[in-house]
Structures are given as structure tokens and as C-alpha cells.
Amino acid sequence: MRIWIGAAAVFFAAGPAFAAEIATCTLSADKKTVTVTASNPYSQVMACSVNCHMAIPNGIATVVCVKPVPSGAKDFVMCSEAAGSGKVYTQVKEASVNCPDPAAPPKAEKDDDDDDASAAEMQQKMMKQGLEFLERQKKQK
């Protein structure tokens, strides 16, 4: 039991740390610039897409960076974006990072035929239920 708890603690502690090492959104001290940096632990160039959701007065702004990260790079600056004249970012709300392993096989796409068949089946079932309801209504009158 102790081994399982220890393993779970290591997993939960290491998971976010590894994700944070891939790409980060950093707000400058003056809160006027967001810098997106990435590290590539792989031996191939990594295609990376990062969306930094930033809090601004009265709303949210998103800084988007899409750029290849060289193999073996550490803290590679993908982009840096200023808030604009007289404006500031207040904090980094969250970041969505999509930097897949370039050596991983591509994900299989879902077959749309299954969705079409399922939708057609659901439509037929709903039509049948509707007709049965109308028949019951006629009998009650």
C-alpha cells in the first residue's frame, strides 16, 4: 500500500513538472510582455503550438505561438508579444500546449461512417417515438 501511494505521489508530482518543461508562458516583471519558451527533449525538430490565456483588465487575451522547436533546445524563445501601448497583462491564467513527440506515430482518425450510422439510427428512433406519441394523443381525444 505504501509503495502505491509513493508511486502515485511521484507520478502526480512529475507529470506537471514534465509538461511545464516542454513549453511555458512567462509574464515580464512590468506585465507588458508575454514570452513563450519551449524545450525539446527529442532528437528531431518538434512542431509546437502554445496558447497563453492571459488575464487583462476586464477580460482575457490569448497569445498564440506556433513554431518548430529545434531538437535538444532548452528554453527556446518561440515568441514574445507586448500588450500594446498603455495596456498590461495581469497574470497568466492558463496555457494550452500541443507539442507532440515527432517520432510518435500519427493518431488514427476516427471513422466518420460510424457517426453517420449512429446519427441515422438515432433519428429513426426519435421519429418512431414521435409517431407513437401522436398516436397516443389521437386515442385520448
pLDDT in tens, 78-137: 999 999 888 899 999 999 999 999 988 887 776 656 677 788 888 888 888 888 888 888
Instruction: Count Cβ atoms within 10 A of the Cβ of residue 135 and give its class: 0-12 exposed, 13-18 middle, 19 or more buried.
Output: exposed
Domain contains 43: yes
Domain contains 88: yes
Domain contains 120: no
Predicted confidence at residue 117, as pLDDT, reads 79
Structural domain span for residue 18: 2-106
Domain contains 12: yes
Predicted confidence at residue 100, as pLDDT, reads 92
State the average pLDDT over residues 33-57.
95
Domain contains 112: no
Domain contains 113: no
Pick from 40, 11, 49, 14: nearest CA to 103: 40
Structurally, the chain folds into a number of domains equal to 1
Domain contains 35: yes
Q: Which tops the pLDDT comparison, 85 or 39?
A: 39
Share of the chain above pLDDT 90, in %: 54
Indicate yes or no: pTM above 0.75: no
Domain contains 18: yes
